């Protein structure tokens, strides 16, 4: 895999240099900025405090339709990251005693309370790309066993419906309605029976974007529409689901007053920049305040499930072991003969993890799958 990435990286470098007309260090933001905004004369170049042009992913995506180089640079970055961080580093991380890769988890390193993983970080392997999925294919169960993945479905959206008390979304989750299709129907005025995949994908981006406090600019970039059109979608969403906007305003006001927000279990997530005089930093803190109770509650729920699972597996006489936690997903290694019984027990424990401390108004749903490799278990 590493050799394959190296070949493709070298090929991309040659193509980029040919398109530009000379060689340069693609990994240098300063040199790349000069190539894009001075040599190629692409619009939108902005210099930061250091005097170098900004070249992060969002800027490159913005100018990608205008020239082939930015898209190739994005692909080059992805492949070099996968090669260095995973294809090369995972080999170095194999433990000589166990023959396995072992990550380190930090239990309290993030503001929302989610676990973070390091040396190696197995939580941010990209899974939306074929290359990222190839890395996950390298994680396999030992002979006679399967990897079992158990994943909370749309947990943050479900928690948004609960904490913001949105009657339409609560009812949809109770009835098992496709929440993205419902949003598309409400926002775009398309009947459910005439829903097409592209309209549903747009609604999905809005659903998840809204709970992260996405801007019209950010949403427009994501779904490929002008900023004005994206702003209209957001306005229509808030008009259709006013309880979401009321929740957002309430959370921001409370956070400004107290300096923190709370999860559904009462755990405090502190938001340091919520009173920052700088508008950009304050806006970032407000987005964090909106999402932290949802992401933080999801973190609390999966930790409660993790605390109960080892004893529950032992009581049931099942030999499965919990291997990994990746945000809303737990990964187990289970004997082939026990995998279905294990999946059912894990599903029951995870779906009931709120009780008895807290009852949510929507059902939590866990999807399970199993296979020889981590990628195929999804």
- Following DSSP, what letter does each residue of 225-281 receive, concatenated? --HHHHHHHHHHHHHH-HHHHHHHHHHHHHHHHHSEEE-TT--EEE-GGGG-SSHHH
- The mean pLDDT value for 34-52 works out to 87
Q: For the chain, give every residue range classified as CATH 1.10.150.20.
A: 157-295
Mind listing the pLDDT tens digit for each residue in 267-320? 999 999 999 999 888 988 999 999 999 999 999 999 999 999 999 999 999 999
- The mean pLDDT value for 42-48 works out to 85
Cβ-count burial 85-118 (b if 16+ within 10 Å, e if not): ebbeebeeeeeeeeeebebeeeeeeeebbbbebe
Q: Which residues contact 279 (CB under 8 A, 6 or more apart)?
A: none
Say if residue 122's pLDDT is above 80: yes
Mind listing the pLDDT tens digit for each residue in 154-172? 999 999 999 999 888 899 9
Say if residue 239's pLDDT is above 80: yes
CB 302 within 8 A of CB 105: no
**Assigned CATH topology for domain 2-92:** Taq DNA Polymerase; Chain T, domain 4 (1.20.1060)
CB 322 within 8 A of CB 332: yes
Distances in Å between the Cα of 211 and the Cα atoms of 128, 188, 257, 323 are 21, 19, 21, 30
Distances in Å between the Cα of 299 and the Cα atoms of 5, 32, 121, 282 are 34, 39, 18, 24
- Model confidence at 366, in pLDDT bands (50, 70, 90)? very high
Secondary structure class of 2 (helix, strand, coil):
helix
- The mean pLDDT value for 332-336 works out to 98
Say if residue 243's pLDDT is above 80: yes
- The mean pLDDT value for 118-132 works out to 84
Number of CB atoms found within 10 A of residue 239's CB: 11
How many CA atoms does the CB half-sphere of 76 hold within 13 Å?
Answer: 21
CA angle 123, 129, 134 (to 5 degrees): 75
Nearest-angstrom CA–CA distance, 137 and 131? 10
pTM of this structure: 0.86
- Model confidence at 45, in pLDDT bands (50, 70, 90)? confident
Say if residue 126's pLDDT is above 80: no
CATH H-level superfamily of 157-295: 5' to 3' exonuclease, C-terminal subdomain (1.10.150.20)
Nearest-angstrom CA–CA distance, 244 and 180? 16
Nearest of 295, 294, 293, 275 to residue 285 by alpha carbon: 275
- The mean pLDDT value for 188-217 works out to 85
Distances in Å between the Cα of 259 and the Cα atoms of 50, 130, 251, 269, 273 are 32, 42, 11, 9, 9
pLDDT of residue 264: 95
- Mean pLDDT over the full length of the chain: 91
pLDDT of residue 347: 98
């Amino acid at each position: 895999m590493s050799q394959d990435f190296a070949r493709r990286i070298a090929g991309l470098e040659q193509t980029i240099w040919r398109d530009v007309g000379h060689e340069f260090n693609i990994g240098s933001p300063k040199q790349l900025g000069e190539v894009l905004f001075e040599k190629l004369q692409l619009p939108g170049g902005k210099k930061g405090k250091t005097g170098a042009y900004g070249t992060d992913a969002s800027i490159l995506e913005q100018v990608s339709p205008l020239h082939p180089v930015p898209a190739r640079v994005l692909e080059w970055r992805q492949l070099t990251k996968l090669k260095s961080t995973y294809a090369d580093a995972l080999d170095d991380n194999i433990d000589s005693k166990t023959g396995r890769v072992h990550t380190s988890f930090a239990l309290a390193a993030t503001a929302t309370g989610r676990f973070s993983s390091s040396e190696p970080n197995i939580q941010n392997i990209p899974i939306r790309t074929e290359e990222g999925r190839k890395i996950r294919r390298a994680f396999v169960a030992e002979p006679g066993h399967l990897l079992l993945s158990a994943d909370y479905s749309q947990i943050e959206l479900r928690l948004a419906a609960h904490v913001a008390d949105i009657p339409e979304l609560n009812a949809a989750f109770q009835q098992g309605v496709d929440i993205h299709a419902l949003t598309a129907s409400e926002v775009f005025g398309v009947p459910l029976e005439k829903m097409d995949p592209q309209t549903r994908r747009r609604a999905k981006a809005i659903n998840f974007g809204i709970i992260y406090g996405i801007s019209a600019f950010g949403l427009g970039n994501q779904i490929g529409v002008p900023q004005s059109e994206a702003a209209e979608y957001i306005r229509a969403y808030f008009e259709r689901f006013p309880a979401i906007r009321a929740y957002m305003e309430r959370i921001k006001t409370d956070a400004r007053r107290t300096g923190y927000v709370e999860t559904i279990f009462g755990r405090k997530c502190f938001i340091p920049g919520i009173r920052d005089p700088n508008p950009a930093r304050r806006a970032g803190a407000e987005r964090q305040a909106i999402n932290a109770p949802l992401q933080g509650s999801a973190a609390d729920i999966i930790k409660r499930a993790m605390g109960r699972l080892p004893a529950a597996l032992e009581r049931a006489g099942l030999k499965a072991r919990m291997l990994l936690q990746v945000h809303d997903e737990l990964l187990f290694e289970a004997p082939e003969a026990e995998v279905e019984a294990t999946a059912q027990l894990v599903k029951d424990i995870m779906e009931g993890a709120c009780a008895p401390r807290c009852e949510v108004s929507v059902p939590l749903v866990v999807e399970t799958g199993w296979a020889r490799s981590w990628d195929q278990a999804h």
